[in-house]
Amino acid sequence: MTLEATHCLLRMYDDHHNLEDYQGGVPRWCTGCGDNAILTAMQRLCRDNDLRPEKTVFVSGIGCSSRLPHYMRTYGFHGIHGRALPVAEGIKMARPDLNVFISTGDGDCCSIGAAHWIHGVRYNMNMTMVLHDNHVYGLTKKQASPTSPRGLKSNTTPRGSYLEALNPLSVTLGIQNVSFVAQAVDWIPEVLYDILTAAYKHRGFSFVRVIQRCPEFLPKMFDPWLQNPQKTLVLTHERGLRLSPAMAKVYKNQQEHDPLDMDRARQIASIDDPIPVGILYQNPEVPCYEDLRHSGQLRTADYVRAGLEAEFDKFTVWPAEGEQSKPAA
């Protein structure tokens, strides 16, 4: 049966899903962790766009952020440290009809997974990647991460971090074939949801950095931004983000920014205070790698079996001619 025929059979059922249809296990993140806000926004996105759970997959690496697939009632793959993107790319090449999301953290993506991050952007496959950035290794109990600010005292930098923090936005905007870059914060859930929705609807590789709180190890780091809305710079545009009237009354520090303007996007990416929130760059004309490589060709069970056996045969130790295997003791 072809993918198209399978899709038609699925469409015979009711397309509508409730929020509960995407809620998996009970989250085990700390109370107040920004991962909870990201999870809720993802579940709302799936519900509002009627994404079929059996046609949706969440892929992650290692870290607090990477537990997200466990809490989604969809397909999921909890990979190894820094390797979420190769897994997601393989899924997308084999099944381009699936909705593929990647959850990764500032250590998982920007340290051990940095090479995959760079090439994932360059391939521009039609997927949505969310970088959960809390500026610290949380799962392993407060070590400095690549995005930790200079001077941060942690278990690995007791005298303070020596280096300036890596800027994920600037790095991503410097990669060839980049097509979508945005930034959100976990404490403005309405805007977080709008940005993730725009990222999902963009055809290409959508990179969304979410600055999030870690209430356990950095409980007061973002208090100035929570207490003063003027310290958040909201990027608005007819082709980008538009605030609701209620949100516009609170977050008055707004700036019109055309997401097609790469030069201005790079300037905005370098701003730390106020924190820019919105779509920095979007170019729908960049070709997707899976389209260039004609992904999703039908593979029969015999075809897959033959491919696996050919790979296994490369490592098989065959007995010498005439040699018989010894009986088990």
Report pLDDT digits (tens) over 67-104: 999 999 999 999 999 999 999 999 999 899 999 999 99
Rounded CA separation 97/7 (Å): 9
pLDDT in tens, 289-320: 999 887 767 677 788 889 889 999 998 888 87
The contacts of residue 93 (CB under 8 Å, 6+ apart) are 125, 290, 293, 295, 296
Is 70 inside a domain boundary? yes
The residues with which 82 forms a beta bridge, in sequence order, are none
Q: What was the pLDDT predicted at 294?
A: 76
Specify if 58 maps to a domain: yes
Sign (positive/negative) of CA torsion 279, 215, 104, 140?
positive
**CATH value at residue 242:** 3.40.50.970
Write down the pLDDT at residue 10: 54
SS3 call for 273: coil
Whether the CB-CB separation of 137 and 230 falls below 8 Å is answered with no
Can you tell me whether residue 102 is helix, strand or coil? strand
Question: What six digits make up the tokens of 79?
Answer: 């990979």
Cα four-point dihedral sign 196, 200, 202, 206: positive
On whether residue 328 sits in a domain, the answer given is no
Q: Is residue 74 a contact partner of residue 39, using CB atoms and an 8 Å limit?
A: no
Task: Look at residue 25 and tell me if it is in a domain.
Answer: yes
Residue 81 has what pLDDT? 92
Q: Is residue 164 part of a domain?
A: yes
Q: What is the pairing mode between strands 254-256 and 143-144?
A: unpaired
Task: Name the residue range of residue 224's domain.
Answer: 15-313
The token pair that represents 265 in the structure block: 């996007």
How far, in Å, are 16, 74, 100, 154, 168 from residue 12 at the CA level?
Answer: 12, 19, 23, 55, 43
Total domains in the chain come to 1
> Which pLDDT score, from 0 to 100, does residue 211 have?
97
Residue 325 lies in a domain: no
Residue 16: the pLDDT is 82
What are the backbone angles phi and psi of residue 307, rounded to the nearest 5°? -65, -45
Q: Which two tokens stand for residue 290?
A: 């899976």
Residues of the chain with pLDDT under 50: 1
**% of the chain at pLDDT higher than 70:** 92
- Contact between residue 274 and residue 233 where contact means Cβ atoms under 8 Å apart: yes
CA dihedral 140, 141, 143, 144 (to 10 degrees): 100
The β-bridge relationship of strands 180-185 and 275-282 is antiparallel
Write down the mean pLDDT value for the chain. Answer: 91
C-alpha to C-alpha distances, 214 to 42, 115, 199, nearest whole angstrom: 19, 26, 24
Residue 211 and residue 133 in contact, taking contact as beta carbons nearer than 8 Å: yes
In a domain, 47, yes or no: yes
The helix or strand, by DSSP H or E, that contains position 59, with its residue range, turns out to be strand 56-60
- Over residues 254-263, the pLDDT tens digits come to 999 999 999 9
329 occurs within a structural domain? no
57, 60, 64, 70: CA torsion to nearest 10: 30
25 in Cβ contact with 70 (< 8 Å): yes
Question: What is the reported pTM?
Answer: 0.87
pLDDT at 29: 95
DSSP conformation letters of 194-241? HHHHHHHHSSS-EEEEEE--BTTTBTTTTHHHHH-GGGEEEEE-TTS-
Task: Please tell me the predicted confidence (pLDDT) of residue 30.
Answer: 94
